[in-house]
Amino acid sequence: MSTIQRNPVMTLGALSLMVVGMASCGGDPNSPGVEYMPDMYRSPAVEAYVDYGQDPYYFTEDKARAQRERPSAMLPPAGTIAFAEDASKAAYSMPYPYANDNDGYEAAGLELRSPIAMTEATVEQGKELYVRFCDHCHGDKGDGDGPVVNNGGHPPPGAYSGALKDLPEGKIFHVITYGKGMMGSHASQLNKEERWLVVQYVKYLQNGGKMTRDGVVASTTPAAN
Ligand code: HEC
């Protein structure tokens, strides 16, 4: 009889460890083998904008799944007004009250006034935006001769100091907002404040490249825009 006493429990334990160890190196070279607590290696990928809903343990899986399949980011309810950190700009968050039709265009022309006083600084800011968004069609001086028109294929818009000389500022704003004919809407490129700044520069061009009437323009109806 051997002097080394073998404990059958230990032997069995060692054997089963070997079996588990070998089983964990299976035939598939891409398999990570047996993982202890796989959640810690592979945390569930959380999708943005998905409502993970209520715990299926307490509610039914059906209910939880229905919630998971519905995006959680929603459009704000109708009538929601964006918060303006700067109270002096709160009026820009108000909805634009004129419809995209001829009545809206005419009404904007009669009623809508710029909330921004015309100064050299605002004309300069408007010019910067005009150069970026308008002059490739309307031309540097607003004569309707930008490169898009000169290269052919695009009908020329009227000249600001010619056919469009007396176009009121409300209509200019309306057209930038909704577009007109071949001109598309610029509402997604220019927020309302920027649109009014561009209007300053268009008015400056309407006036032949000079400040209008002592540089002063009605600026008392911020709520209407
Ligand atoms: C893709 C070329 C194009 C761009 C860019 C463009 N316009 Fe126009 N715009 C036109 C055309 C064409 C018309 C003539 C539309 C019509 O009367 O059918 C026009 C018309 C106008 C009118 C006259 C609207 C009226 O009531 O008769 C104004 C004002 C105007 N654009 C301002 C701007 C301003 C400001 C920008 C830049 C924010 C701009 N446009 C960008 C092509 C363009």
Residue 180 CA to ligand 1 centre (angstroms): 7
pLDDT tens per residue, range 78-87: 888 888 888 8
Whether the predicted pLDDT of 88 surpasses 50: yes
Q: Are 100 and 178 in contact (CB under 8 A)?
A: yes
Q: What is the pLDDT of residues 93-140, one digit of tens each?
A: 888 999 999 999 999 999 999 999 889 999 999 999 999 999 999 999
- Output 10 or 201, whichever has higher pLDDT: 201
- Exposure string over 55-94, b if 16+ CB within 10 A, otherwise e: eeeeeeeeebeebeeeeeeeeeeeeeeeeeeeeeeebbee
CA of 30 to the centre of ligand 1 (A): 61
Q: Is 167 in the pocket of ligand 1 (CB under 6 A)?
A: yes
- pLDDT score of 37: 77
Q: Compute the distance from residue 211 Cα to the ligand 1 centre, in Å.
A: 21
Nearest CA to ligand 1 atom 6: 134
Report percent pLDDT > 90 for the chain.
46
pLDDT at 26: 61
Q: How far is the CA of 76 from the centre of ligand 1 (A)?
A: 31
- Whose C-alpha lies nearest to ligand 1, atom 42? 183
